[in-house]
Amino acid sequence: MKLDDFSLKGKVALVTGASYGIGFAIASGMAACGATIVFNDIKQELVDKGLANYKEAGIDAHGYVCNVCDEEAVQAMVKQIEEEVGVIDILVNNAGIIRRIPMTEMSAADFRMVVDVDLNAPFIVSKAVIPSMQKKGHGKIINICSMMSELGRETVSAYAAAKGGLKMLTRNICSEYGADNIQCNGIGPGYIETPQTAPLRERQADGSRHPFDAFIVGRTPAGRWLKPEELAGPAVFLASDASNAVNGHILYVDGGILAYIGKQP
C-alpha cells in the first residue's frame, strides 16, 4: 500500500451534469488528486457557467454540451473526448433530476422523464465508455444513487424507482465487466445542500425552518445537512486504485441517516 494508490494522476474523469452542485464538488476533488476533468451539461449556458466555476477554482476543465438521455449525442461526445482529451478512465454518472409530485397526480410522461435521466442515461453513458475501458484494461464507474435507492417517501415515486434501479444497474455492471478490471460502485448521498434540495430548505414566511428541513436535521445523527464537498473524498477513493477490490458496492455518504431511527421526541 502506498499513498500513490489514492492518486488520480494521469486519469481522465468524465463527470456528467457537473457545472455546479454535487458533480462540480466531486470533479473538483478529483482534480485536486490529479485527474483531468471533463464534464457535460444539458445546455451551453450551464457549460459556460461550469467552465467559469472550474476556472475560478484553478481547474482546467473541458466542458461539452450533451443531453445524457440522447444516445447518439452521448456516443459522439465520448468519441470527441477520446480524440481531444483521451480515453475516459473514470465515469461519474451524476446528472439527475427529481419531480416531487404525489404518485396519483403524476403523469406517466413525468414519471418516464425522471427514469430517463436518472436510470436510462447512466446506462447510455456507461455503455458508451465501457468498450474503451475494456481495451485499456481498467475503468471506474461511479453512479450517484440516493437515500431513495433504499427508502421511499411521499411524492418521489419516479425518483425512488430510478435510483433503486440505478443501484441494481451498478451491481449488474460490476457483475458483467468485473472480469475486465472495471469497477462499478455507487455513492448514496444523504441530504445535501444543492439547488436540487433548495425548495426543501426554504425559510417559512415567519422565518422558521421549513418542516422538511427540521425533519432531515432530526433524521441525521450529525444534526445537519451535508455539503457537496463532503462527497469528494468517497468519490476519489472509489475512482482510485485504492478501491480496486471494491466492486458493486453502494457507499452511503449520509451522515448516518440509514443507521438511525430518528431523534426521539
With binding defined as CB under 6 A, does residue 196 bind ligand NAP? yes
Q: How far is the CB of 98 from ligand GCO (least distance, A)?
A: 5
Residue 41 CA to residue 70 CA, distance in Å, equals 12
* Binder among 55, 153, 203, 263 for ligand GCO (CB under 6 A): 153
159 is catalytic: yes
Work out which of 30, 114, 125, 144 binds ligand NAP, going by CB under 6 A. 144
Q: Enter the DSSP assignment of 178.
A: G
Q: Which stretch, 7-15, 99-107, 190-198, 240-248, contacts ligand NAP (CB under 6 A)?
A: 190-198
Residue 37 forms beta bridges with which residues?
13
Using CB under 6 A as the binding rule, whether residue 79 contacts ligand GCO is answered as no
* 239, 11 Cβ separation under 8 angstroms: yes
State the residue for C-alpha cell 457557467: 49
Shortest separation between residue 186's beta carbon and ligand GCO, angstroms: 11
Which grid coordinates are listed for 103?
404518485
- Helix H, strand E, coil C: the string for 103-158 is HHHCCHHHHHHHHHHHHHHHHHHHHHHHHHHHHHCCEEEEEECCHHHCCCCCCCHH
Choose among 204, 224, 225, 215: nearest CA to 265: 215
**Catalytic choice (54, 159, 177, 252):** 159
Residue 94 near ligand NAP by CB under 6 A: yes
Inter-helix orientation angle 121-136/71-84, to 10°: 30
Stretch near ligand NAP under the rule CB under 6 A, chosen from 2-10, 39-47, 201-209, 238-246: 39-47
Q: Which is nearer to ligand NAP, 73 or 180 (CB)?
A: 73
Does residue 246 touch ligand NAP according to CB under 6 A? no
- For position 156 contacting ligand GCO by CB under 6 A, the verdict is yes
Looking at the Cβ atoms of 196 and 208, the one nearer to ligand GCO is 196
Q: Minimal CA–CA distance to 118: which of 82, 43, 170, 51?
A: 170
The sign one gets for the Cα dihedral 253, 193, 69, 62 is: negative
Residues that bind ligand GCO (CB under 6 A): 98, 100, 146-148, 153, 156, 159, 189-191, 196-197
Residues that bind ligand NAP (CB under 6 A): 16-17, 19, 21-23, 40-42, 46, 67-69, 94-97, 117, 144, 146, 189, 191-192, 194-197
